[in-house]
Amino acid sequence: MADALKIGIAGLGTVGASLVRIIQQRSNALAVACGRAITITAVSARNRNKDRGVDLSGITWFDDPVALVENADIDVFVELVGGVDGAADLSVRAALARGIHVVTANKALLARHGVEFARLAEEKGLLINYEAAVAGGIPVIKAMRESLTGNNFSRVYGIMNGTCNYILTRMEKEGLSFEACLKEAQRLGYAEADPTFDIEGNDTAHKLAILTTLAFGSEIAVDDIYLEGISNISIEDINAAAELGYRIKLLGVAQRTETGIEQRVHPTMVPLDSVIAQVDGVTNAVALESDILGELLMVGPGAGGNATASAVLGDITDIAKSRPGAQQVPVLGRPAALLEHYRQAKMKSHEGGYFIRLSVVDRAGVFASIATKMAENGISLESIVQRSQYTTADAPVTIILVTHATMENAVRKAVSAIKHEGYLIGEPQVIRIERPKTV
């Protein structure tokens, strides 16, 4: 049998502790599958004395991940610390500088520095594997980097944040409050260290930016993503969506348009009878539309210790099975030097259906005025409803519009014109509608 693959793990939280446990429990099976043992030689975390339910005896402890990389006897550095600046960034750079392969679950770090890391890795013939960074346990990175080479992608979209999907599902199915659902997601280890990244859509944006690069061969452009989170979604929106035959999901969507690549993250209404609408709780789904294969939908666990550790383990075993000196899988699907300049399609040119919920004063002519403002901006309506169950006596009236496919710019202009009429109460709610091709 070949020499053991020696790994160092920085970060022993939700993901790191699960990974250590799984590697220790399955050491024999892993050795058989890889043709060599996988040995954890070094670990690093903040608190040496914390009980993590794993046996760390015989493993060298480092307080600092950089010190681990620089001093431990390792072939692979596994970064599970999180964060963009600081220990994660410094330790990954140190590993690449020292000629050590990297496995990471850190989408925020890759969205920011992925292209630079890819260049550094490629200069030295090193691997950076990051399956856990996007859609947790779903093997979407492997599929896009390896299995779908040669396909031209037209659209990539999905539910990529387990915390948000968990919150939306429990709010809808159990009528729980947003705050209670978020607390539970944190307790279960799904949320980021700062859950604002989950609920404001940044985490989905980090993941989408990576998928966009894999799909379209363009440089990572996380700052060009249109971003809206779910903190503004109320139970009224969720109920109204259901009545109209939709469900609200936080989607990340990247698609090619005539003017460039459109990347957006926002709450989205998807048809109730679509598969993606049935994806509940912490489960994620990624849909890939391409010319050779057609439509591929991958559904599976998106967050949590074991689901994420499963992806990290797959990345480690890929390195264990790789032959020294063999051609490496390019980090970002193609050599970093061949990534194209990112051409952004402007959000105001986005074309699609819209759900618009307005709270208005109960006055004659308001309904007609709203319909007129829509028509003046060339927006054709699928439906416009004013239903009594959304109101109580003397309360403002709720009017819900669903548009046919239209331009974002037209919707913005119409909503702005309505705002000037003086009958609107509070801010209008605008939710985009996304239609899966077939599934």
Q: Which is nearer to ligand NAD, 127 or 303 (CB)?
A: 303
* Site for ligand HSE contains 305 (CB under 6 A): no
Residue 155's alpha-carbon distances to 36, 147, 263, 270, 288, in angstroms, are: 40, 17, 10, 16, 6
The amino acid that residue 378 corresponds to is G
Segment near ligand HSE (CB under 6 A); pick from 77-85, 157-165, 253-261, 328-336: 157-165
Among 79, 89, 131, 198, binds Na ion (CB under 5 A): 131
* Site for ligand HSE contains 224 (CB under 6 A): no
Check: CB of residue 1 under 8 Å from CB of residue 320.
no
Among 7, 80, 279, 303, binds ligand HSE (CB under 6 A): 303
* Site for ligand HSE contains 390 (CB under 6 A): no
The minimum distance between CB 379 and Na ion, in angstroms, equals 38
Does the annotation count 373 as an active-site position?
no
Q: In this structure, are strands 397-403 and 283-290 parallel, antiparallel, or unpaired?
A: unpaired
The minimum distance between CB 365 and Na ion, in angstroms, equals 53
Closest residue to ligand NAD, based on beta-carbon distance? 13
Residue 435 pairs in a beta bridge with none
User: One of 6, 124, 183, 207 is an active-site residue; which one?
Assistant: 207
Question: Where on the phi/psi map is residue 422: left (φ > 0), alpha (ψ -120 to 50), or beta?
Answer: left
- Chain residues in the site for ligand NAD (CB under 6 A): 10-16, 44-47, 65, 80-82, 86-87, 105-106, 132, 136, 189-190, 192-193, 303-304, 308
Query: 281 contacts which partner out of Na ion, ligand HSE, ligand NAD, none, CB within 5 to 8 A by kind?
Result: none
* Planar angle of CA 82, 316, 201, nearest 5 degrees: 35
* Site for Na ion contains 128 (CB under 5 A): no
Q: Which helix (H) or strand (E) holds 198?
A: helix 196-199
Q: Which is nearer to ligand HSE, 307 or 339 (CB)?
A: 307
Q: Among 302, 306, 321, 323, which residue's Cα sits nearest to residue 26?
A: 306
- Distance (Å, rounded) from C-alpha 428 to C-alpha 424? 8
Check: CB of residue 252 under 8 Å from CB of residue 204.
yes
Residues engaged in binding ligand HSE (CB under 6 A): 136, 161-163, 190-192, 198, 203, 302-303
